Structure 1
């Protein structure tokens, strides 16, 4: 069975498939599509719980980095000298990065965490540590977060007085 595929003449089945495909492409060109959604560039648009989840490290990873057993970090979480929470998403304990200065826990954080009211949830404490406050100003008068204040050498007692107020 010999088919004729000379120039200008192709398989009739292919021509109809090709022309229908061109029709669909032409139809798509005529449809005005909405632009794709822009990615969220800052985590700050997310609620504090999502922010905390995204900006946290796994307890086991942190323990390895600090060369301590994970049980030691869990004890510090219970003693409220480190901020930790159970991540349902990852099914593990996590520690928010905000409480670390490089690989080590932020100096002065333990007494601040212990001064927090016992009913405060980890996300509330995280929000306190990450929200700029006029009580903590840098040399240019810019409001700083409690964590930034501590990193800059700010007084722990100033933070505790704000918590107790």
Structure 2
């Protein structure tokens, strides 16, 4: 079995990259679980963290994320709740710190129109673009060749 030097070098570089990146990907687990005073506090906490987005994971709620910052933010949310802040004040605290992105359902405001209407505008622009391509090809059909008239 003869392995080319280029292939061997690529394999070594890949192994080196994996070894370097592994500590960056590793997550530190939360050493102490959160303790709730009663069932009502726990239910409110879970409802609130389900409405907030993890600022690192971007596609997970604060309740679902296992990132270290999510653990820290869950503790922060619980601390704010225990300080007597209502849900709107807790959300506003996180919005002030991380921006509207932290909310799964941002408020409808001029600053968030892109979040609400951006996907629809992109879909419409793509439809117009495809429609123009189809219309252009319909006006100028491809020239017929002798191969098109042959039967297989």
Query: TM over 0.5, yes or no?
Result: no
**TM-score between the two structures when normalised by the length of structure 1:** 0.27
**TM-score between the two structures when normalised by the length of structure 2:** 0.28
Structure with the largest fraction of strand:
1
